[in-house]
A and B are shown apart, each in its own frame.
Chain A
Amino acid sequence: MDTCIHNALHLEAPVDLLFSGEHIVSMTPVGLQPIPEGVRVIDAEGLVLMPSFIDAHVHLREPGFEYKETIASGLAAALHGGFSDVCCMANTRPVNDCAAVTRLIYEKAKAQYPDGPFVHPIGAATKQLLGQELAPMAELHEAGVVAISNDGRPIASTEMMRRVMEYAADFGLLVIDHCEDPTLAEHWVMNEGVVSGKLGVKGQPVVGEALQAARDIMLAQYLHLPVHIAHVSSAMTVALIRFAKEAGIAVTAETCPHYLLLDDSALEGFNSACRVSPPLRSSEDRDALLAALNDGTIDILATDHAPHALHEKMTALDQSLPGFSGLDLAVTLTWGLVRENVIAEDALHRLWCRRPGEIFRIPTNGFAKGDFANFFLFDPHETWTPNDETLYSKGKNTPFYGQELSGRVRHHFIHGKQLF
């Protein structure tokens, strides 16, 4: 039966969304044409209609770290967080550096969530993520990886990075790089700056990220091959990417909601809940990232969803594991930026849906006839508090834990099916 989402708000205009089976039929302003006879009508008054989002950077922890997160719990968080597609990083145990692991991830997801959200595994760039030997990308490609990355274990050797980019190009696989010079500020705890100096903890300077980003950009230029810079955290890296794009170099980049909402002052009082990699930077870096999202220098948003167990965060700052749980909260948090007029509502669709769809070749819903009916309805006024009961992810490690937030995903349809 055809369904009509009636009177939802799409980019501030009330619309009727008609879909049939898995696909969109039409989206029209309310009242422009009558709702056809015999159609199931869902009243969505007051709810914001958005296309399902893509999270191009998550850690689902399975296989190997099921106490932190499982594919099922991660997908539950994605579903309730408004994501129809998630790209999961390779730093599992065993590492996703062979077809067997890639297939296992697909199978687990399909068994638990046959109708979506969908996983798109990212293969390791080097065996075991050790940075020594190329991962078998032909095999990984055949098994269906969406990209290649050594995320979590940055590639120190420029020679190896070059070979990764070249070899991945044989399969048209995009290389995603976690940019961090591992020889600069080993065992860092947080951003190097006023706060780290005061607290007496080892800081990582922004240069640690920018240096590797510059390396990747120059390799991309020299090799005429694309590279994607993961979780950009600093103004210095933004400037390099801006330069690269102006020079026509094939670089794309992402940043995460937490770099837009928090800065390193959040670590005052040794708040280990706010330890993340790359670390939260200064407020100037935060401003530069917001500007870069608005002018397109940074292409997409991603959560870098990094669930951890409570005991891994609840300890001294330098002993706590870096990372935030992100899938449950990302839409709520970034909607806050729309509410404050920091970014436009349409930019949210671009950053979370259209651009990641283009970069990772995942079909997205542009609300045109024939598009997959992937969308969610969001109540911008509902208030809720992230806690053990409300978060679907097993990772409760968000800096926003216990804070009242405004706006929440209410319903999510994937391929025309209402999954909640």
Chain B
Amino acid sequence: MMNTDNRYLWQHKDLLDCNQLSCDDVFHLLDLARSFQDIHKRPVRKIPTLQGRTVVLFFVENSTRTKTSFDVAGKRLSADTHALSLAGSSLNKGESLLDTGLTLEAMHPDVIVVRHSSSGTAEFLAKHLSCGIVNAGDGWHAHPTQALLDCYSLRTVWGDAFAGKTLLILGDIAHSRVARSNVVLWTKLGVSVRLAGPRTLLPPGLSTWPVTVFNSLDEAIEDVDAVMCLRLQLERQQAGLLPSLAEYSKRFCLTSKHMAKAKPDAVVLHPGPLNRGLEIADGVADSAKSLILNQVQAGVCVRMAILYLLATRK
């Protein structure tokens, strides 16, 4: 919805998932992220915008890139960032999630960035804490900053012409917060979304999602504008969901042969880290079609924008 007075106002205390965002929110955020883009090229890669503000990185699940990305984003804006990981947190000592949250809040952070293996953790903390909460990934549920940075990356290629484009999300949809957030965001922006993966890795209730589902990569990839390849967690095979990684790779590894069936200017995304040769072939990951490294850079800009919006919200 357009703002009648043309003066956009960010209204969200938290960023929990993309479904809370209007298209206006999304474009405002992406514009803001773009305005931060050039800071990376400066000799002094820091602006004083969030000086004196505190950002806590509360990561109760292994993560290197997302945590680093938020850390860099906060520091570029001159915020004080403090990392708390599972090993160092008292959740390991049996403290409840709520008590840990209240303890963190007692240190008066402006924003807490949370990563947790339980779906709904960010929403739970947002309900009980008054500071801003950024969901940096909760279980299989949502990973909104990933979806937004994917959107940022594709915008550098597509411009604002999202409507009518087709995006294929490939792989383990059932256990993917990246897939869920992307489906929400892209359908909001008018992009047709296709999903492909083995039936054992598709979520229940998929028939109610606004997507088209394929069991074969060859069919799914025809004429798409972009392919988002998901990381396959190696433990899915042990859980009995796949006969072998080799068979998965035979059916769903994204190769140049597949890319030839997509639109000629189709691009490839991957949230990382890559399992080369399993879900994505070297030839694709390293090709000119790959936006994978752009995604990393986009991640910092988008997270700067998020931290800025939440920390400066009136």
Contact = CB atoms under 8 A, between A and B. Distances in A.
A200 interface: yes
Nearest to A315: B97
Contacts of B139: 200-201, 318
A195 interface: yes
Nearest to B140: A200
Classify chain B's interface size.
20 to 34
Nearest to B204: A197
Nearest to A317: B120
B204 A193 contact: yes
B151 to A, nearest CB: 20
B98 A195 contact: no
A314 interface: yes
A200 B96 CA distance: 22
Nearest to B183: A198
B116 interface: yes
Nearest to B128: A314
A34 interface: no
B113 interface: no
B87 interface: no
Interface residues of A, number: 22
Interface string B219-253: 00000000000000000000000000000000000
Contact of B205 (A194, A269, A319): A194
Interface in B115-157: 116, 118-121, 123-124, 138-142
A196 B119 CA distance: 10
A269 B123 contact: yes
A269 B120 CA distance: 7
Contacts of A197: 174, 203-206, 209
Contacts of A198: 180, 203, 205
B6 interface: no
Contacts of A319: 97, 118
Contacts of B270: none
A239 to B, nearest CB: 20
B204 A316 contact: no
A270 interface: yes
A47 to B, nearest CB: 40
22 contacts: A192-B204, A194-B204, A197-B203, A197-B204, A197-B209, A198-B180, A199-B119, A199-B141, A200-B177, A200-B180, A201-B139, A203-B204, A270-B119, A272-B120, A311-B96, A314-B96, A314-B98, A315-B98, A316-B118, A316-B119, A316-B120, A317-B119
Interface of B: 96-98, 116, 118-121, 123-124, 138-142, 174-175, 177, 180, 203-206, 208-209
User: Which 6 pairs show the lowest CB-CB distances between chains A and B?
Assistant: A270-B120, A200-B140, A194-B205, A197-B205, A200-B141, A316-B118
Interface of A: 192-201, 203, 205, 269-270, 272, 311, 314-319
